[in-house]
Structure 1
Amino acid sequence: MKTSTFLLGVAAGSIAAAVTVLFSTPQSGNELRSSVKNASVDMKEKFKDVKVKIDSLKESVSHLTKEAKETVPAAIEGIKHSVDKWQQSTEPNKDRLENEIAAIQKALEELEQTIATQQK
């Protein structure tokens, strides 16, 4: 949900609530006009506050976007460098493990041949 849509909904709901309260209470004409005028002034102030908050939110999002554009590529490059370094550091172990696995497979084959010849 977009922030502007949400804030518009809140503002519309506030106006509807204010109008409902004003017209549902028994008041004289002068009192009603005074209440409507006061409610109008209050709503104008609330709309100003909402506008200030929306502007602040836009500025924060803009700042965050700018920071992300600067920070994310550097972080990705750092991660790539770390992965490359890790791969280089594990390469000797990988080669050693491959040699050991090949030796185990050869030993198993020899053992199977020995067992096969003994069973004959």
Structure 2
Amino acid sequence: MKTKSLLMGIVAGSAIIGGLTLLTTPKAGKEMRVTCRENIQKVRNGLDQLTYDSKKASLQLKQTIQVGKETFSTVGEEIKGSIDDWKTDVEPSLVQLKEDIEALQQSVNQTKKIT
């Protein structure tokens, strides 16, 4: 008896829900299918555009990384050259300063000996 009541409840509930669905649907079945197809096509187009944009962004990122590597390499070489040039330019001054310091030190030592 319980099984029969359960089945009757399921059938009655399904019939009521089906009827309410048909009565409250804003469009006819054919119109609804067309709307669903259009929405599916819009989603597909959106996914295709997303895929295209992602690939394009990935390519641009790879190009940017390559240009960055080349630029940093060039800048590094230029900085190294500038430092080498600076060392070459400063070397005579350093030698002169060392000579002046030694001469000054000798002067101080001679002054100490005299006094």
Ranges in structure 2 where 5+ consecutive residues have no aligned partner: 1-23
Query: How far did residue 69 of structure 1 move?
Result: 4.6
**CA–CA separation in structure 1 for the residues paired with 2:32 and 2:105:** 95
TM-score by length of 1: 0.51
Residue in 2 that maps onto 1:28 = 25
Ranges in structure 1 where 5+ consecutive residues have no aligned partner: 1-26
Residue in 2 that maps onto 1:91 = 91
**CA–CA separation in structure 2 for the residues paired with 1:69 and 1:60:** 14
List per-residue Cα deviations over 1:39-88 (Å, max 9, x = no partner): 43333222112111111112212322333454443333222222211111
Aligned-partner residue type, residue 98 of structure 1? K
1:73 aligns with 2:70: no
Residue in 1 that maps onto 2:103 = 103
Question: Identity across aligned pairs (percent)?
Answer: 21
- Map 1:23-62; keep pairs closer than 5 Å: 28=25, 30=27, 37-62=37-62
Q: Tell which deviates more after alignment, 88-97 or 76-85.
A: 76-85
Structure label with greater radius of gyration: 2
Residues 38/91 of structure 1: CA separation in 2 closer, same or farther (3 Å cut) = same
Residue in 1 that maps onto 2:4 = none
**CA–CA separation in structure 1 for the residues paired with 2:62 and 2:98:** 51
Aligned-partner residue type, residue 25 of structure 2? S
- Runs of 4+ residues over 6 Å off in structure 1: 31-35
